[in-house]
Amino acid sequence: MADFGAEVAEALGILLLRSTRAGLYRHLTEGLGLDEAAYPVLSGLARTGPRSAAALASEVGLDRSGVSRHATRLEAAGLVRRRPDPSDGRAALLTLTEQGEHVVATMRTRLAGRMALALTDWPPGEAAAFARGLRRLAETGPF
């Protein structure tokens, strides 16, 4: 019997390498006037909605100061805004602007295109089964 767990774990390890992610982020942000390192902040805000820098940091795997630095640059670019946190008067919530939402939509379209291109040589049934299986792993896996 094949050890599918080890095979999946090895593939995930490759996908999670910083160099692998950096290359992908570079492509997704190209021509948008962004530092590719800001991708997790924008993408994270799009997934979670308004968050404090500390809460977003724990969601995207960065430290709070790194998220704050990126947020400052993204705010200057008109992609993110800070607003008072109604539950904590000392904190601010980061939220995407309309322009930020547009940039995220562009990046997601690019990502979907890259994934579709990577699967073009796969038999259609195999590509569909992979997509369903990956979704299932993400939703019910050991995470």
Say what the pTM is. 0.86
User: Which two structure tokens, joined as six digits, stand for 32?
Assistant: 């948008």
Q: Which domains does the chain have, with CATH numbers?
A: 4-140 (1.10.10.10)
* Residue 79: alpha-carbon gap to chain centroid: 15
Give residue 43's pLDDT. 95
Give residue 14's pLDDT. 86
Report yes or no: 67 and 52 within 8 Å, Cβ to Cβ.
no
Residue 73's nearest CA partner among 31, 42, 102, 114 is 42
Q: In the chain, which residues have pLDDT < 50?
A: 1
